[in-house]
Structure 1
């Protein structure tokens, strides 16, 4: 859920920056590291806006420290590497040009050692240093502009642009999916040598990939259509190649920054599942935000979307759109409404059909409505600016005239959470507990009341299904209530 509603899209600068890189191999020398850095910075903004960064400062610092240890082993490099956690359940890792490296919370949950994590990071670093982004034949990012008619569309698209132009097709997937087999093999080899120079066991990359493959297989019924293995397939040949190269390397193993106990301590508390309550959750078509204390109902069967900047919905035939975002709060609802009316009059020559102050669930609000008949079909446009005790919001609804009732109902459904709803904004969270000597996975699962099956426990902890405890820590997930942030 957003902290501020953007007024313009980053898609244009992203397309320009990415376009500079989508060149054939014969002209890679034309693209400088500075150009790659510019493209990476543009993509990093899209990653933050579209996927979101996971909020866990301690885990983030640890990830960056491991990454920088690998960077130090590179020696001279023109790239300024940074490492971030993306708020994505699917196990995923990707690199953008210029040295921006991302690992999903879903992948972190499935790693079992610092060496495994280092193997994944070294692989992504190698995509950057080998300049695979420059050599690949990339694909366009984003979709078309709003297709609704009328003069108001050009004005409103500045507010809706990020959500409408960039549906859930993550930037990382676009880039990863276009790596060739040769580039993947090269990143394996270069990355393993880098991990070895940094003091890690290079064969750990294979165990990380095999562990992810096991868990993804068990989770395929839970919407794991897109994951790290789509672009980094763990084929028998790839595993054999990794093991063969690892046998030839003789790294000087140095102590990790975190032993297994410390490593699992960093993962303890990680939110597990498609929805992260920190960003609000959907329960059917109802969106609930415990931190901002509101609920809103989107129309039945509309496609919903929750990004760091927007929560919204789209009519299946793209005949109507809804978007809710938070403002900086520098104006009152009347102030935001006056600014919109002026902007719409100057840029589209339109005056509002309705502009009035009202209260919505006791919150001060202002409605501005336009009925735009300048196109082939009439459209209705609702803006509601409101101020709750927690935040200033803008709620927009735009669509063909016959959707006016659905748009109005959704906008007017926004209200404070009930106590029952507030208690229902939690989810599944990764925890760590000691497995007793001789204890089976089934017994451990029952004792800690986990949502994972014994088979999934085995896969995510990197052990066999017949494993018996030896007094060590094991990861599991359990359902927990979400405690709103202060």
Structure 2
């Protein structure tokens, strides 16, 4: 009786998937209902979490989810319950499943240490869901692979079609889909209040990863250098009032009114150039305040480092290494930064 029930269940599953296969192949992605999208994503998400397991770090999981939800709040699609989770793998990777399920790998959170960098990655993945790119991929790639998998699967032993579904979904987006996700992700990340250079810095870090570390995050994307070029064009549209300048050993901010002291050392997993891009983005955020007041700058310290704030905007963290490289004490260096930023914003 148990074997007969299992056989019947196998036949029912096969019949259901075959009917849905015919429907999906004949319909456009927009005709796949939200409930169907969620069902597909739920099954694939269960398989992913069984295969990789989640990182046992409640603080990291909560942090990534909070960043993701901030982006969802300003996204163009809110008819889903989005989840953001970190998988326990060294891969430098992230992906989105239908229905609002977004995953990043621990290897990626290790590389992208700041909230802004992670926001840039998550903004890209949210954009894939907003435009239903994974549903397009499922429709395009489902084909005979799933039918063959179901025919060979031994459902009585718990083997199902999830691997084939996941493979179809993550087979690689088109170049136009990836470019669209970059553009929408850039807009969403900015609207959520993150640094405008977040995605650019993330792309720069991806470009610096050695070939042996590169994973699916690079598959079928436009060339990484092309994506960086496009991101700089998006930034140009913001008319940021300062420019990032780089020398052989440092980077600094400048415009016609002056320049900041140069940054010569790395900190918090960011090179001096990446730190300078973040500084430029924070200066832009100050310039967008409705009532700029040069008296709103604040210095704060954790006993070792000094943080410069404008109101509640954390402009930059300066370290003892920064002071040593400048040949002055840390407080003096921080005051030089405030003076130079005020000058830059007076242009």
1:463 aligns to 2:312 (yes or no): no
Q: Which residue of 1 aligns with 2:232?
A: 243
Cα deviation per residue 1:157-212 (whole Å; 9 max; x = unaligned)? 644736xx777x993x6534331111101111111111111011233212112212
Structure 2: segments with no counterpart, 5+ residues: 1-8, 241-262, 276-317, 323-347
Distance 1:15 1:100, change over 3 A: farther
- The count of corresponding residues between Structure 1 and Structure 2 is 242
Cα deviation per residue 1:284-333 (whole Å; 9 max; x = unaligned)? xxxxxxxxxxxxxxxxxxxxxxxxxxxxxxxxxxxxxxxxxxxxxxxxxx
1:130 aligns to 2:131 (yes or no): yes
Match of 2:219 among 230, 239, 258: 230
What is the TM-score when the length of structure 1 is the normalising length?
A: 0.43
Q: Which residue of 2 aligns with 1:49?
A: 50
Distance 1:230 1:22, change over 3 A: farther
Name the SS of the counterpart of 2:194 in structure 1: coil
Name the SS of the counterpart of 1:186 in structure 2: helix
Q: Which residue of 1 aligns with 2:182?
A: 188
Work out whether residues 115 and 204 of structure 1, in 8 Å CA contact, stay in contact via their aligned partners in 2. Answer: yes
Match of 1:205 among 199, 208, 212: 199
Structure with larger RCO (C-alpha < 8 A, sep 6+) = 1
1:105 aligns to 2:106 (yes or no): yes
Name the SS of the counterpart of 2:190 in structure 1: helix
Distance 1:98 1:57, change over 3 A: same
**Root-mean-square deviation (CA), in Å?**
4.1
Work out whether residues 95 and 104 of structure 2, in 8 Å CA contact, stay in contact via their aligned partners in 1. Answer: yes
1:132 Cα offset (Å): 1.0
Structure 1: segments with no counterpart, 5+ residues: 1-7, 148-152, 252-436, 442-457, 474-486
Give the distance between the partners of 1:232 and 1:186, measured in 2 at CA. Answer: 11
Bigger helix fraction: 2
Work out whether residues 43 and 162 of structure 2, in 8 Å CA contact, stay in contact via their aligned partners in 1. Answer: no
Cα deviation per residue 1:220-276 (whole Å; 9 max; x = unaligned)? 1xxx4634222445532211111101221379xxxxxxxxxxxxxxxxxxxxxxxxx
Name the SS of the counterpart of 1:46 in structure 2: helix
Distance 1:18 1:83, change over 3 A: farther
Work out whether residues 90 and 228 of structure 1, in 8 Å CA contact, stay in contact via their aligned partners in 2. Answer: no
Give the distance between the partners of 1:21 and 1:118, measured in 2 at CA. Answer: 36
Name the SS of the counterpart of 1:461 in structure 2: coil
Work out whether residues 55 and 106 of structure 2, in 8 Å CA contact, stay in contact via their aligned partners in 1. Answer: yes
Work out whether residues 44 and 162 of structure 2, in 8 Å CA contact, stay in contact via their aligned partners in 1. Answer: no
1:133 Cα offset (Å): 1.9
Q: Give the 4+ runs in structure 1 shifted more than 6 A.
A: 13-18
1:52 Cα offset (Å): 2.0
Give the distance between the partners of 1:241 and 1:35, measured in 2 at CA. Answer: 34
1:48 Cα offset (Å): 1.1
Work out whether residues 21 and 133 of structure 1, in 8 Å CA contact, stay in contact via their aligned partners in 2. Answer: no
1:25-44 map, 5 Å = 27-44=28-45
